[in-house]
Structure 1
C-alpha cells in the first residue's frame, strides 16, 4: 500500500476517475494490481487519489481492454509509457 499523504490539489477519488473515464472501479483497482497504474497517493482517510497521469493511463488502456488487447504484455507497455 502507498504512503498516506495529504490530498493532492489535482487528486481524483477512484469514483470520479471511473466516471470521467468510463472504466469501472474494480477495473481501475485491477490496473493497479497488475502494475499498469502506479500505487496512488492516499488521502488522510485512506481514499486513493489519482492525478492527470493516472487518468491518461486509464484512458489509454480502456480501449485496449475493450477489444481484448490489454494483456500482461500490454500492461508492461502501458507502464513503460508512463516512464
Structure 2
C-alpha cells in the first residue's frame, strides 16, 4: 500500500490500536499478530514502520508513535 499525506486506513488504525495494548513478550506478540491480522509478523512490522512515518499517525497518538519511532531508530 502506498501512503500519502492524510491517509490512514481502517487497518492502519487497527495496527496502531494493537500496538497500544500489545503483549510485551515477543512470542506472545507474534502469536497475537497472527491471530489478529492473519499476516506474518514480518509483514506487520513492515506496515507498522510505514504507518509511524505518516503525519496522521503522529497527530492521532503522538506518545505512542514517538515511542515506536524511537524504538525503530527513527528519531533524531
Q: Same fold (TM over 0.5)?
A: no
Q: Which has the higher strand share?
A: 1
TM-score by length of 2: 0.31
